[in-house]
Amino acid sequence: MMMLTIIVAVVVVFVTLILISFLQTLSLKTPAFTNWPFIGMLPQFLRNLSNIHEFSAKLLNSKGGTIEFIGPWFTNMKGVITTDPMNVHHIMSKSFTNYVKGDLFREMFKPFGVGIFTTDSHLWKFNRNLLQYIFKQRSFEDLQERIIHNKVETSLIPLLNHVQQQKGLIVDLQDIFNRFTFDNICSIILGHDPNCLSIDFPEIECEKAFNQAEESIFYRHTVPLCVWRLQKWLQIGEEKKMTDACKVFDHFLYDCIASKREELTKNSNKNQNIETDESHVDLLTYLITEEEKKGESNDDKFLRDAAFNLFVAGRDTITSSLTWLFYLVATHPLVEAKILEEIKEKFGHKEKPWILNVDEVKNLVYLHGAICEALRLFPPIPFERKESVEKDVLPSGHHVHPNTMILFSLYAMGRSENIWGEDCLEFKPERWISERGGIVYAPSYKFFSFNAGPRTCLGKDLAFIQIKMVAASILWNYGIHVVEGNCVTPSLSIVLLMKHGLKVKITKRGV
């Protein structure tokens, strides 16, 4: 059986490569989307892999928002790809129990372990209820505010000051945000600051490993199942990179867990109460102490999986949001001017450099609109995946069979005229502001960046707060200038980052 699988995989790859060579002459605008004999529709996707998000957006828009995808024969690589809001509402809310992550999803996202993003049914409910309880605590919001405030004041502002003093120095703003959010999420979850964000830009092995794991997971979605399973078995290519990356990052997580258990044991022996100031209690400490109170014992694997899932939720999504936001603001001077005008009107009396607190950033309506626009056009998680349990008929009229894969293209949704109108490609914060100057809230099945239905992101409000605190501080103090010729291309990963980073020059703002 293994030999048959290998032969099929080799044949599929060989024939696909031949067709890719033929399709080199085809344009991205070519309307034809052919179901080839034996190899299905895979060649078109592989041909446009480097530009897969734009290709998918144009394809889905030309097909009314929903297509049926058929992969190579014997690969079981088939499903439905959609941007239809009614399909989203049906799958994520109305028929929630019929659409799950499924076993294949868990296999493809194995580095996530048994966490909130990969589980279904009672395991998912357990993880969600636990995190929901924590996130609702005022102390958790206080912890996040304190950590972000401290990191901006002691690391981000000094680094940006250093950069702007080196006249003409070009830096990768995405790398800066990557380091900033990695330090923050480590502090919030693990109670450990690796100090990635410093003037000498140190290379942090675990941070690089985490990025590689995400890229390898995306790769699994671009080739037939038998191909990446074969690579995993042989430990070659992306699967070898995945294995090595997970070893490095797991070693980092387990070391942090062991250190935290040791620290708490010592404090317990000294009769020290770690709850004297709840705003200083990181999530890992909370999970360990809660299990001790209940007389339970969550093993290190549970803590590791919880941490890994929250790293994805609270680190890369923020990096992506900040990077695309600053790119859009820097390339739209009128929007930048309005953001600065709003800040000056409400907080111009504060001395520089300053950092707004949680309550203050909630008053920045125009900045909120700019963030929503950035999330609409460049959603941090560009696609969402589900699997059907029983047969069904979607509102779009497409028939779904048991175990059918459903892919939502969030990137394409943000570029759909049917959803956002003829100006869908424009960056318009005003889209999110009412005539009375309040915030306009779009339904989650239309604005899908924070998921929808029972799986709506628990950290949505915390994410907006963090992005506003960072964005307001930087924009008020510095001018961000995108370097001419900087190639802005989405990366091929499960998180929508910039493939070549965001190269900028930074100047001191004289507001």
With beta carbons less than 8 A apart as the criterion, state whether 214 and 312 touch: yes
> Which helix (DSSP H) or strand (DSSP E) does residue 127 occupy?
helix 121-135
Among 91-105, 144-158, 286-300, 486-500, the minimum mean pLDDT is found in: 286-300
Phi then psi dihedrals of residue 172, to 5 deg = -95, 105
Task: Provide DSSP, 7-30.
Answer: HHHHHHHHHHHHHHHHHTTS-TT-
The helix (run of H) or strand (run of E) holding residue 82 is strand 78-82
Whether the model pTM is above 0.85: yes
Identify the structural domains of the chain with CATH numbers, from first to last: 127-508 (1.10.630.10)
Nearest to 147 by CA among 206, 209, 193, 210: 193
Q: Is the pLDDT of residue 136 over 70?
A: yes
Give the pLDDT confidence score for residue 264 in this predicted structure: 85
Cβ(317)–Cβ(460) below 8 Å: no
Q: For residue 167, what pLDDT band results from cuts at 50, 70 and 90?
A: confident
Neighbour order of strands in the sheet with 78-82: 66-70, 78-82, 405-409, 383-388, 99-100
Q: What is the pLDDT of residues 325-365, one digit of tens each?
A: 999 999 999 999 999 999 999 887 666 557 888 888 889 99
What is the band of 144 on the pLDDT scale with cuts at 50, 70, 90? Answer: confident
Question: What is the Cα–Cα distance from 197 to 501, expressed in whole angstroms?
Answer: 16
- Return the residue matching tokens 């996707």: 45
Q: Is 206 annotated as a binding residue?
A: no
pLDDT tens digits, 384-436: 999 999 999 999 999 999 999 999 999 999 999 999 999 999 999 999 999 99
DSSP 169-184: -EEEHHHHHHHHHHHH
